[in-house]
Amino acid sequence: MAPLLLAAIAIGLIRAFQTQQWQFVLIPITILPLWLMLRLTTPPEGMRVKTIRSTPGARLLLCLMTATLLMLALAVAIDVYFLGQPFPAPLQAYQAILFAPPLLTLVVAVFWMNRIQRIHRTTPLPIDSESNGKQSSSKKNSLRERQNSKL
């Protein structure tokens, strides 16, 4: 990653000197602090990352966010092609109604994801049938260890 970033900065500097337009350097230079932060905060042995399948509700959230994106694209297409509003023009009052459903879908998606996450975090410990409804300490410890390792 570092060689590509340095090459992008070098190309941006060369292009900026040729054209006297310094915006060619801005994008690589703004990416550099983000890359450095990630590079310095990541341990050398790497990080353990949850997969999408292991995150409760992630698929639902991704589906609803995709639906939101498609509805926003459809709303923009309707606004530009059927209603005749130019894309960079100032917003009109009717656009609040046109763009509200996709944004409400996004709010609902985040709310559902939060509820699903909360439900999965507060699952009760399994009951040991041999101890008359009491939870066995070995099962408590093993379940807590698994939950802590997931965090």
Q: Are residues 17 and 63 in the same domain?
A: no
Model confidence, pTM: 0.46
Q: Are residues 63 and 109 in the same domain?
A: yes
Domain assignment present for residue 124? The answer is yes
Tokens 């060369």 correspond to 14
| Total number of domains constituting the chain | 2
Q: Are residues 27 and 68 in the same domain?
A: no
Cβ 112 vs Cβ 61: under 8 Å: yes
pLDDT at site 123: 57
Domain assignment present for residue 31? The answer is yes
Domain assignment present for residue 96? The answer is yes
Dist CA 131 CA 127 (whole Å): 8
Residue 48 sits at the vertex; the CA angle it makes with 46 and 52, to the nearest 5 degrees, is: 130
Domain assignment present for residue 82? The answer is yes
Residue 150 sits at the vertex; the CA angle it makes with 149 and 151, to the nearest 5 degrees, is: 90
Q: Are residues 6 and 72 in the same domain?
A: no
Q: Are residues 76 and 132 in the same domain?
A: yes
* pLDDT averaged over 10-residue windows placed end to end, the chain, 151 residues: 77 84 76 82 80 74 85 88 83 84 84 78 57 50 59 54
pLDDT at site 98: 85
Q: Are residues 92 and 63 in the same domain?
A: yes
Domain residue limits at 22:
2-41
